């Protein structure tokens, strides 16, 4: 947030998974709600808001309370706008499917599904930005740009917070230069670890190891790219 402020960035969009995994879900939801102009629903947000009576979600649900869970439940699945002549969609995993997960190495056909038209605008996107896999990257193919913003609180490639900046004429259908930058922000990982240590959160050891190493707890030997559940 300090890095964003220092750069004078006027609007902040959050691409989901506000809550779950970490020790401070309630604080995360409140901060994001206060600071972000647009907030998109993630798969964790969906599960926490919709699944009752499951052990693995109960700790977070108790912390969040009914009002925040209601807020998460009503978040949209995507946002779309024009910038410098490009139609841009931002989502958590895929604009039309919260559980369609693609990686950098996923075949092009599957990744092209992210560009499909939506209920609100039946037109292929030019640029799609997403989250979900905790691995920042940008790729151009088939006259499209697909980028992943990475993760602020649980990065799984470099142990630094990650976000993306889009620069162009917001709301403009006229073609002009557009830039997409991926930013890494060093932060006090051990402070975050100490917050986790103070709680009895589920899977605390695995979480702390992920913060320190940026390696996914469930990564299999042969698996390529980034992964999380
Ligand atoms: Mn996710």
| Share of residues in the chain with pLDDT > 90 (%) | 93
Distance 47 CA to ligand 1 centre (A): 10
CATH topology for 2-213?
A: Purple Acid Phosphatase; chain A, domain 2 (3.60.21)
pLDDT of residue 218: 85
pTM of the model: 0.94
The fraction of the chain above a pLDDT of 70, given in percent, is 95
How many angstroms is it from 43 CA to the middle of ligand 1?
5
Question: CB of 46 within 8 A of CB of 69?
Answer: no
Domains of the chain by residue range:
2-213
Give pLDDT, residue 219. 63
What are the DSSP E strand ranges found in the chain? 13-14, 38-39, 78-83, 86-91, 127-130, 137-141, 144-148, 161-167, 179-185
Sheet holding 137-141, edge to edge: 78-83, 86-91, 127-130, 144-148, 137-141
Ligand 1 centre to CA of 44 (Å) is 6
Question: What is the rounded average pLDDT for all residues in the chain?
Answer: 95
The pLDDT tens digits for 57-110 are 999 999 999 999 999 999 999 999 999 999 999 999 999 999 999 999 999 999
Q: How far is the CA of 82 from the centre of ligand 1 (A)?
A: 25
Å from CA of 131 to ligand 1 middle: 7
Q: What pLDDT score was predicted for residue 229?
A: 45
Q: Are 225 and 150 in contact (CB under 8 A)?
A: no
Q: Which of 97, 96, 79 is nearest to 88 (CA)?
A: 79
Computed on alpha carbons and rounded to an integer, the radius of gyration of the chain in Å comes to 17
Residues 177/168, Cβ–Cβ less than 8 Å: yes
How remote is the CA of residue 99 from the centroid of ligand 1, in Å? 8
Each residue's pLDDT tens digit, 168-227? 999 999 999 999 999 999 999 999 999 999 999 999 999 999 999 999 998 644 444 555
Ligand 1 centre distance from Cα of residue 91 (Å): 11
**Separation of 88 CA from ligand 1 center, angstroms?**
20
């Amino acid at each position: 947030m300090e890095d964003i402020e220092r750069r004078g960035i006027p609007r902040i969009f959050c691409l989901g998974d506000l809550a779950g995994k970490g020790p401070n879900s309630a604080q995360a939801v409140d901060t994001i709600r206060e600071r972000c102009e647009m907030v998109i629903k993630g798969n964790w947000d969906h599960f926490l808001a919709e699944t009752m009576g499951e052990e693995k979600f109960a700790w977070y649900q108790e912390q969040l309370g009914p009002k925040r869970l209601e807020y998460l439940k009503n978040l949209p699945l995507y946002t779309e706008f024009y910038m410098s002549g490009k139609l841009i969609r931002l989502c958590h995993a895929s604009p039309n499917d919260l559980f369609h997960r693609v990686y950098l190495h996923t075949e092009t056909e599957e990744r092209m599904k992210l560009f499909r038209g939506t209920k609100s605008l039946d037109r292929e996107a030019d640029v799609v930005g997403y989250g979900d896999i905790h691995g920042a990257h940008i790729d151009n193919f088939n006259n499209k740009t697909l980028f992943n913003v990475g993760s602020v609180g649980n990065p799984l490639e470099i142990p630094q917070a990650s976000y993306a900046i889009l620069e162009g004429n917001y709301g403009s259908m006229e073609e002009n230069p557009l830039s997409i930058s991926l930013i890494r922000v060093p932060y006090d990982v051990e402070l975050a670890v100490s917050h986790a240590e103070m709680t009895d959160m589920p899977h605390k050891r695995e979480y702390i190891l992920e913060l320190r190493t940026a390696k996914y707890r469930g990564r299999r030997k042969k698996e390529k790219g980034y992964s999380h559940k």
